[in-house]
Amino acid sequence: MTYLARNSWMLQQGLFVADIAYLLDEGAPSTMPIWGTGLNPAPPEGYDYDYINADVLIDRISVSAEGRLTLPDGMSYGILVLPESERMTLPVLRKIGELVKEGATVVGPRPVTTPGYSGYQASEMIFNDMVSDIWGDLDGVSRTRRETGKGKLFWGTPVRRVLELAGIKPDLEYYMPLDCKVDWIHRRSGGTDFFFLVNSSDSLLDTRIRFRITGREPEFWDPATGTAIPAGYSMTGNNTVVPVHFKEREALFVVFRNKTDQTSRADANKSSELITSLSGPWELTFPAGMGAPEKITLPELESWSVSRDDGIKYFSGTATYTGLFSVKKSLLKKDAGFVLDLGKVCDMAEVSINGSQTALLWKPPFTTDISGLLHKGKNKIEIKITNQWTNRLIGDLKAPADKKILGSSIFMRGREPAESGLIGPVRIFKLK
């Protein structure tokens, strides 16, 4: 809940930053694309977008001196993309004509007719005159660009090319392997820009991200811990390139707030050295009355769901792993940093080292700082693992009446128990 609160608080600050405004279709339903349908034309990579409806277009949008479409609250967009529709009402058409003449950049096809029968013949004549005035001789094939007043109108030109011609570079660019993806959103509050970045893959990810910002030093803000650290960077032109080292499924904020004259700073990411792997044996204890044995010894880690003991296979709740490991005195230098990596966990872990609790881990990566908790010789580790109730529900359906734990009748037939417990590998790293 603290993690969600931090993200929610950050993403309520300031205003959303978008380069493209998509005008929603005036027909029903006038909503953003749903049910898996995509935007047409699709926004190019590196640019974010927003939606506006006819009411906002007519009553709230104006054109700034720089040619940006602006709203009274400070939101602004570089270009306006019209819906792929043959119909357009006169008020919307009139407003588009005004915006283009005042300096806006608009992308979209020539409308064919105006809907409705109110003042039909006169309205059709007015419609045709306005369309000719705005689109002129554009046909979307051989003639795709037209200047009208201070602005420009495009039809049949790719959106990326329109943005380039408008001098709008990508807000964010990165190189990524084919099986990886970074989702992002950009907001601005006063003189601070911040990007919320999410590694949407189950893999570690090292990349370099180019932000359309310069003159301010970047910081990494971690919503999981609430900590902030300086980020390495290099500035060229109007861009700042930041090396980002994502853990699997990690989310973080990159915040630009403090002005700087320095054009670069070294990457502060620390490397690590494996000092031990906790391979076993492990003592595993289960709570009484939940169907599992009180205590077992595991020579190595495995999912509860593969156990031959149905009490363990279908266990749901919290069980405790206890193990011992040794640390050499030579490793325990002053200010030495250590990180515990639990590997794969299904689904939550509470860790204690030598009686001191370190963290409650509820999402990958299941790592925690254990600096200052180790001592020379034998060390004791306790890991409490909590899984979902699904496995117990499945087990109860198969168990005789006197062996049911929950007595639930929730339908789980045909499902197999999910991976549960500490699967590992459990390793300790020393930070260099």
What percent of the chain clears pLDDT 70, i.e. is strictly above it?
96
The full set of domain ranges for the chain reads 18-165, 172-269, 274-431
What does the pLDDT look like over 71-104, one tens digit per residue? 999 999 999 999 988 899 999 999 999 999 999 9
The pLDDT score that the predictor gives to residue 178 is 63
The pLDDT score that the predictor gives to residue 30 is 67
pTM across the whole model:
0.85
What does the pLDDT look like over 211-224, one tens digit per residue? 999 999 999 999 99
Residue 364 pLDDT level (bands cut at 50, 70, 90)? confident
Reply yes or no on whether the pLDDT at 35 is more than 60: no
Strand partners, 256: 193, 218
- Which residues 6+ apart lie within 8 Å of 426 measured at CB? 277, 278, 301, 323, 340, 341, 342, 343, 383
What does the pLDDT look like over 191-202, one tens digit per residue? 999 999 999 888
CATH architecture of 274-431: Sandwich (2.60)
Q: Are strands 318-327 and 282-285 parallel, antiparallel or unpaired?
A: antiparallel
Reply yes or no on whether the pLDDT at 277 is more than 60: yes
What does the pLDDT look like over 109-155, one tens digit per residue? 999 988 876 656 778 889 999 999 999 999 999 999 999 899 999 99
CATH architecture of 172-269: Sandwich (2.60)
Most confidently modeled range among 9-23, 174-188, 362-376: 9-23
CA angle at 237 for the pair 75 and 188, rounded to the nearest 5°: 25
Residue 43 pLDDT level (bands cut at 50, 70, 90)? very high
If DSSP codes are grouped into helix, strand and coil, which group holds residue 392?
helix
Gap between the Cα atoms of 65 and 95, Å rounded:
18
The token pair at 272 is: 């690590």
Residue 357 pLDDT level (bands cut at 50, 70, 90)? very high
CB 405 within 8 A of CB 427: no
What does the pLDDT look like over 418-432, one tens digit per residue? 999 999 999 999 987
